[in-house]
């Protein structure tokens, strides 16, 4: 176990992305002031679980459970997110990362989205990113799951723009940042409008209740 981290004072975050941990700690840290946050990737090289859920909530739970199963900790945070396009009946949804076939092939996914939307006119290109964040606590009496949900509403552009972000960010124009794609926002700007930000704020509010 990483020095200084114990099962009672640590929440493992099911990610290898340290920036995500920083974002989570900034929002949840003031409420969970007695807890440390550590990325699962900092603790070892663990296999990715099979995300075979039928919803964002289920896939977030799968990742949180895997993080707890692989470590000695009793609390874990995980998130799952994706792009939901109105004109495509909510696709790609939970399949966002592997929509074009290979998991994480952002270029192929964006090209597929452009093709799927090429005949869709202005006014019908609405979409939103959704994020489900879950805090799982395991104890002698069982398990408690607390979810936070968040959306970032916008539209799908016609061409990729911007060098920041990942996934469908170059094609997504968030309503809260007029005229810019998500990939044209700085990381700091993105964090204030993103779906995960809203989901974490929702989770933080529930932790206060």
Q: Which CATH class is domain 10-208?
A: alpha beta
* CA separation for the pair 155, 124 (Å, rounded): 8
> What is the full DSSP assignment across 104-146?
T-HHHHHHHHHHHHTTPPTTS-EEEEEEEEEEEEEETTEEEEE
Average pLDDT, the chain: 94
Q: What is the pLDDT of residues 120-149, one digit of tens each?
A: 999 999 999 999 999 999 988 889 999 999
- Measured between alpha carbons, how far is 92 from 84 in angstroms, rounded to an integer? 6
Higher-confidence position of 19 and 172:
172
Query: How many C-beta atoms surround the C-beta of residue 104 within 10 A?
Result: 10
Contacts of 6 (CB under 8 A, 6+ apart): none
> Which percentage of the chain shows pLDDT scores above 70?
98
In angstroms, rounded to a whole number, what is the distance separating the alpha carbons of residues 51 and 66? 10
Q: What is the mean pLDDT of residues 187-199?
A: 93
7 — pLDDT class (breaks 50, 70, 90): confident
Give the ranges where the chain is alpha helix by DSSP (H). 18-28, 40-43, 56-70, 106-117, 187-193, 195-208
Is residue 8 scored above 90 in pLDDT? Answer: no
Name the active-site residue from 34, 48, 57, 80.
Answer: 80
165's torsion region: left (phi>0), alpha (psi -120 to 50) or beta?
left
Q: Is 80 a catalytic residue?
A: yes
Per-residue model confidence as pLDDT tens digits over 70-105 = 998 999 999 999 999 999 999 999 999 999 998 889
Domain ranges of the chain: 10-208
The reply to whether omega before 92 is within 30° of 0 (cis) is: yes
Q: Quote the CA–CA distance of 87 and 25 in Å, as a whole number.
A: 36
* Whether the predicted pLDDT of 1 surpasses 80: no
Residues with Cβ within 8 Å of residue 10, at least 6 apart in sequence:
35, 36, 37, 38, 73, 75
Let me know: does 77 contact 138? Beta carbons within 8 Å. Answer: no
Q: What is the pLDDT of residues 31-68, one digit of tens each?
A: 999 999 999 999 989 988 999 999 999 999 999 999 99
pLDDT of 2 reads 55
How is residue 112 written in tokens? 């597929």
pLDDT at 141: 87
Over 60: is that where the pLDDT of 3 sits? no
pTM of the predicted protein model: 0.92
Contact 31, 208 (CB under 8 A): yes
């Amino acid at each position: 176990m990483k020095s200084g981290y114990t099962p009672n004072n640590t929440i493992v975050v099911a990610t290898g992305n340290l920036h995500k941990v920083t974002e989570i700690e900034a929002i949840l840290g003031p409420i969970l002031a007695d807890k440390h946050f550590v990325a699962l990737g900092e603790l070892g090289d663990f296999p990715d679980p099979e995300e075979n859920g039928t919803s964002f909530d289920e896939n977030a739970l799968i990742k949180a459970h895997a993080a707890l199963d692989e470590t000695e900790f009793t609390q874990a945070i995980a998130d799952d997110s994706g792009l939901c396009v109105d004109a495509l009946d909510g696709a790609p949804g939970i399949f966002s990362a592997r929509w074009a076939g290979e998991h994480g092939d952002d270029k192929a996914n964006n090209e597929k989205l452009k093709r799927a939307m090429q005949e869709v006119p202005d006014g019908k290109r609405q979409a939103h990113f959704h994020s489900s964040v879950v805090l799982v606590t395991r104890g002698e009496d069982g398990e408690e799951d607390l979810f936070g949900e968040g959306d970032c509403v916008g539209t799908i552009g016609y061409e990729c723009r911007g060098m920041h972000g990942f996934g469908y960010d170059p094609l997504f124009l968030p309503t809260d940042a007029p005229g810019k794609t998500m990939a044209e926002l700085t990381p700091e700007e993105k964090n204030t409008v993103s779906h995960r930000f809203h989901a974490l704020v929702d989770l933080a509010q529930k932790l206060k209740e």
